[in-house]
């Protein structure tokens, strides 16, 4: 199951870039893979960095026409989310172990 | 004078107890299940269960040896089960295969613990006990080997992911390094238990044969170092990791 941030980004990408659901999901998944993140527990803050740094490359390969506008819409969707770092992830657990 | 292997195991026992108690106390503050599972795991298995099972057969008074062994085996099995579920909870929380795998592993561990304890209760002759406990002990060793392979794989997988995050400024160098140490911990345990498994397979007594005893104690001392670096890292080590990450050296570790 994907995090709420991932679902929001995917929805925004589908609407703004006119992508099919699975294409949008695939582009985000590949960008997350390059960032070492997982859809299940990625936060809005982490996704914003991915959108800035890695998503444009994936959208380019999907032949999206207006990449900056699509990324902007995804950023807007993420900005509307609150702090979604409620679910535990391995890095959060490991940062607590010696804290 | 105490032998070097015994001192190594004593060191591992003491450090495991300290780490385990700290994690249990932390779980009370954070209400975190992973900390609780890891804490119980370290207190129950290496700090209490394992030493009790080693000491019990050396006790001359059977009235003391039997309860020490039974309680030790219960601690040992409980700790190993908690360790399996720690891996599930942290690395594969929603995966059915992982939950069922840990449940199956725990069932085998409980069955093994019962079988080994029954052998200890049935005879006072160590050769007879070893012969009767051979099958359940082999099953326990197999489950432990698999659990350490799993630990090492999850640790290295997450370490690689964290390195990618570090390049984007999304991860802390010390936490990233902790995953590498965690996988080293798994590999060390796997190494020593593999030696024991081999000697068990060729019919040797893994409690008295010098090679498995040395492998176990060496593994114990190496794991002691890893436990300290993971759970109670000295400031100098933390600074070194951060410095290495800044200079890009961590990427080559």
pLDDT confidence of residue B251: 46
For residue A76, the enclosing domain spans: 4-97
Minimal-distance CA residue of chain A relative to B238 = A98
pLDDT confidence of residue A1: 79
Minimal-distance CA residue of chain A relative to B32 = A93
Instruction: Report the candidate in B32, B79, B76, B30 with the shortest Cα–Cα distance to residue B52.
Output: B76
Instruction: Report the candidate in B112, B117, B114 with the shortest Cα–Cα distance to residue B136.
Output: B112
pLDDT confidence of residue B2: 53
Minimal-distance CA residue of chain B relative to A90 = B90
Question: Is the pLDDT confidence value at A37 over 80?
Answer: yes
CB contact at 8 A, A73 and A12: yes
Q: Rounded to whole angstroms, how far apart are CA atoms A56 and A50?
A: 9
Across chain A, what does the average pLDDT equal? 89
Q: pLDDT tens digit string along A50-83?
A: 999 999 999 998 888 889 999 999 999 999 887 6
Domains (range + CATH), chain B:
4-252 (1.20.1070)
Q: What is the DSSP string of A5-31?
A: HHHHHHHHHHHHH---HHHHHHHHHHH
Q: How far apart, in Å, do the first and last CA atoms of chain A sit? A: 29
Cβ within 8 Å, pair A90-B168: no
Mutate to test the interface with B, among A47, A52, A91 (most CBs of B within 10 A): A91
| Number of domains chain A is built from | 1
> Three-class SS string for A56-68?
HHHHHHCCCCCHH
The mean pLDDT value for A23-34 works out to 94
Tell me the CA distances in angstroms from B170 to A42, A43, B53, B68, one per residue in order: 11, 11, 45, 49
pLDDT confidence of residue A97: 86
Residues 6+ apart with CB under 8 A from B78: B40, B44, B45, B49
Q: Rounded to whole angstroms, how far apart are CA atoms A2 and B186?
A: 29
Cβ within 8 Å, pair A38-B161: yes
Minimal-distance CA residue of chain B relative to A41 = B93
Contacts of B172 in chain A (CB under 8 A): 95
CB contact at 8 A, B220 and B8: yes
**Shortest CB distance from A35 goes to which of B90, B170, B182?**
B170
Cβ within 8 Å, pair B161-A1: no
Minimal-distance CA residue of chain A relative to B90 = A90
pLDDT confidence of residue A57: 93
Tokens of B230: 């993971």
CA torsion through residues B179, B146, B197, B139, sign:
positive
Q: What is the DSSP string of B80-133?
A: HHHHHHHHHHHH-TT-HHHHHHHHHHHHHHHHHHHHHHHHHHH-S-HHHHHHHT
Contacts of A97 in chain B (CB under 8 A): 23, 26, 35, 38, 178, 230-231
Cβ within 8 Å, pair A90-B230: no
Cβ within 8 Å, pair B34-A49: no
Q: At what angle do helices B210-231 and B173-201 cross, to 10 degrees?
A: 170
ipTM: 0.89
**Shortest CB distance from A53 goes to which of B162, B168, B172?**
B168
pLDDT in tens, chain B (253 residues): 457 777 888 888 999 999 999 999 999 998 899 999 999 999 999 999 988 998 898 899 999 999 999 999 999 999 999 999 999 999 999 899 999 999 999 999 999 999 999 999 999 888 888 889 989 999 999 999 999 999 999 999 999 999 999 999 999 999 999 999 999 999 999 999 999 888 888 877 776 778 887 888 888 889 989 999 999 999 999 999 999 988 865 544 4
**Shortest CB distance from B170 goes to which of A46, A90, A94?**
A46
CB atoms within 10 A of CB A52: 12
pTM reported for the whole predicted model: 0.89
Contacts of B156 in chain A (CB under 8 A): none
Compute φ and ψ for B178, nearest 5 degrees. Answer: -60, -35
Cβ within 8 Å, pair B32-A88: yes
């Amino acid at each position: 199951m994907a995090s709420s941030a991932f679902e929001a980004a995917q929805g925004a990408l589908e609407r703004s870039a006119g992508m099919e659901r699975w294409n949008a999901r695939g582009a985000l998944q590949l960008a997350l893979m390059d960032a070492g993140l997982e859809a299940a527990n990625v936060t809005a803050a982490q996704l914003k960095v991915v959108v800035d740094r890695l998503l444009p490359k994936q959208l380019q390969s999907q032949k999206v026409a207006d990449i900056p506008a699509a990324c902007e819409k995804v950023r807007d969707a993420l900005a509307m989310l609150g702090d979604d770092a409620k679910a535990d992830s391995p890095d959060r657990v490991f940062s607590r172990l010696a804290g | 004078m105490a032998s070097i292997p015994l001192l190594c195991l004593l060191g591992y026992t003491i450090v495991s107890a300290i780490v385990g108690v700290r994690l249990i106390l932390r779980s009370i503050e954070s209400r975190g299940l992973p900390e609780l599972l890891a804490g119980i795991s370290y207190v129950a298995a290496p700090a209490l269960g394992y030493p009790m099972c080693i000491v019990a057969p050396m006790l001359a008074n059977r009235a003391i040896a039997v309860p020490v062994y039974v309680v030790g085996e219960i601690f040992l099995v409980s700790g190993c089960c908690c360790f399996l579920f720690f891996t599930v909870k942290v690395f594969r929380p929603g995966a059915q295969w992982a939950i069922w795998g840990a449940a199956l592993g725990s069932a085998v561990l409980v069955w093994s613990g019962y079988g080994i304890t029954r052998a200890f209760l049935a005879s006072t002759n160590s050769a007879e006990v070893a012969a009767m406990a051979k099958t359940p002990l082999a099953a326990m060793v197999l489950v432990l080997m698999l659990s350490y392979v799993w630990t090492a794989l999850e640790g290295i997988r997450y370490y690689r992911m964290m390195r990618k995050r570090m390049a984007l400024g999304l991860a802390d160098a010390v936490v990233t390094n902790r995953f590498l140490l965690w996988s080293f911990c798994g590999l060390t345990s796997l190494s020593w238990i593999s030696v024991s498994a081999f000697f068990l397979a060729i019919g040797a007594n893994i409690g008295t044969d010098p090679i498995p005893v040395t492998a176990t104690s060496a593994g114990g001392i190496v794991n002691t170092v890893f436990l300290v670096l993971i759970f109670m890292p000295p400031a100098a080590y933390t600074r070194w990791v951060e410095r290495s990450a800044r200079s890009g050296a961590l990427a080559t570790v």
